[in-house]
């Protein structure tokens, strides 16, 4: 009876996880969704999982399956607070105590596990952030020991969906590297190698930028550089189709201006968000309000600099993130439209994310 009570408490702990701010693991009155494999002992002391050394063979764990569409196409942060005692090295370097999602897509198996130390350690918070591919076929959360043994205490296990990246590469017209200024092609705002964004590219492989989720493309056609008198070859407008989008309360944009002005709040562009309820919402993007010059990096009231790179001349270049609140009756996003409006500065859009979370 004690074991059943303790496993029930494990269920309650995991039921506090979040997906778009809601429960990722639904609260139920039975434990049918969890399966227990092996001689794993579960007791309450916060939450205590224990496995004897003689029972270490195999993967002894509690397991919980998720529907793939709960995670597919999303940036997800998994976190927990842990304490360990005498956790043994597994028979392979990557074996040991495990809190991980075992998943698969069309390319094969995927593993997303929290980093858990060996030996004994006091309470600490561990986390990781991953993008779950849009063609996710299965996902299972596993908590236990793989070819290992010891005692693991666990509390505050969470899986937070930070957002759903919206790919803009299909509409992109420029990259980050520009070898020849003024030829109407290449990268960034077509200002040549002394003023392109090559210094930013090594920093664009992350998923989190000052706490905000983005997944920038990095190919030859990765960003949308919009038309202005300073860049007549830019895009006058661009449409981005949104596939399999979920609900969202906010739209986050990673962007910057080239050849911006130090003052003034003129509109540099407009974003139209189209929902499946035959409604749309427009946002005017304003210079020095929502976004600033990428080489001067002035503070703006409706955004912040989330990425900086050191340039060869000793200066800094960077990108801004801006949050736009979406109307509750907009419905599921189906399309984004970007329209150039600048009379001087070149508006460059690097990445876009839809999210249920207020992160800025």
**What pLDDT does residue 56 have?**
85
> For the domain bounded by 167-355, which CATH number is listed?
2.60.120
**What pLDDT does residue 40 have?**
58
Q: Terminus-to-terminus CA distance in the chain, angstroms?
A: 46
Highest mean pLDDT (candidates 34-38, 153-157, 304-308, 313-317):
304-308
Percent of the chain with pLDDT over 90: 67
Q: Taking 80 as the threshold, does the pLDDT of residue 37 lie above it?
A: no
Beta bridge partners of 62: 36, 143
If one compares 26 and 47, the residue with the highest pLDDT of the two is: 47
Beta bridge partners of 104: 109, 138
Given pLDDT bands bounded at 50, 70 and 90, which one contains residue 8?
very low
Tell the CATH topology of 2-163: Jelly Rolls (2.60.120)
What mean pLDDT is reported for the chain? 86
Residues 6 or more apart whose Cβ sits within 8 Å of residue 29: none
Percent of the chain with pLDDT over 70: 86
The model's pLDDT over 192-238, given as tens digits with 9 standing for 90+, comes to 998 899 999 999 999 999 999 999 999 899 999 999 999 999 999 99
Token pair 């038309």 is found at: 227
Alpha-carbon gap, residue 124 to 114, rounded angstroms: 12
The model's pLDDT over 312-360, given as tens digits with 9 standing for 90+, comes to 677 899 999 999 999 999 989 999 999 999 999 999 999 999 999 999 9
Given pLDDT bands bounded at 50, 70 and 90, which one contains residue 13?
very low
Alpha-carbon gap, residue 270 to 294, rounded angstroms: 19
Domain limits, CATH 2.60.120.260, in the chain? 2-163
Give CA separation, 100 vs 129, 216, 264, in Å: 12, 26, 50
The model's pLDDT over 286-300, given as tens digits with 9 standing for 90+, comes to 999 999 999 999 999
- The reported pTM is 0.87
Residues in the chain: 360
């Amino acid at each position: 009876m004690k074991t059943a009570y303790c496993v029930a408490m494990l269920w309650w702990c995991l039921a506090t996880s979040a997906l778009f701010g809601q429960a990722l693991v639904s609260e139920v009155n039975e434990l049918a969704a969890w399966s227990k494999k092996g001689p794993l002992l579960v007791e309450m002391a916060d939450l205590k999982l224990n496995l004897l050394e003689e029972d270490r063979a195999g993967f002894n764990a509690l397991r919980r399956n998720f529907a793939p569409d709960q995670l597919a196409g999303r940036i997800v942060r998994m976190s927990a607070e842990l304490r360990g005692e005498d956790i043994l090295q597994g028979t392979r370097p990557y074996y040991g105590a495990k809190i991980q999602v075992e998943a698969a897509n069309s390319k094969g198996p995927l593993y997303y596990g929290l980093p858990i130390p060996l030996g004994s350690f006091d309470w600490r918070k561990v986390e990781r952030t991953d993008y779950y591919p849009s063609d996710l076929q299965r996902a299972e959360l596993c908590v236990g020991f793989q070819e290992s043994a010891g005692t693991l205490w666990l509390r505050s296990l969470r899986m937070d969906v930070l957002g759903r990246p919206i790919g803009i590469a299909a509409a992109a017209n420029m990259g980050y590297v520009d070898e020849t200024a003024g030829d109407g092609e290449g990268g960034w705002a077509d200002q040549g190698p002394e003023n392109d964004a090559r210094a930013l590219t090594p920093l664009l492989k992350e998923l989190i930028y000052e706490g905000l989720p983005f997944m920038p493309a990095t190919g030859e056609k990765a960003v949308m550089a919009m038309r202005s008198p300073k860049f007549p070859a830019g895009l006058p407008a661009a449409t981005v189709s949104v596939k399999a989008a979920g609900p969202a309360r906010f739209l986050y944009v990673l962007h910057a201006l080239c050849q911006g002005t130090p003052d003034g709040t003129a509109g540099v562009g407009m974003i139209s968000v189209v929902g499946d309820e035959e409604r749309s919402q427009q946002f005017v993007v304003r210079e020095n309000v929502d976004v600033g010059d990428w080489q001067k990096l002035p503070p703006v009231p409706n955004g912040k600099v989330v990425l900086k790179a050191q340039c060869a001349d000793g200066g800094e270049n960077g990108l801004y993130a801006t949050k736009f609140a979406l109307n509750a009756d907009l419905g599921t996003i189906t399309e984004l439209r970007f329209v150039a409006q600048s009379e001087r500065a070149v508006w460059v859009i690097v990445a876009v994310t839809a999210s249920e979370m207020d992160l800025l």
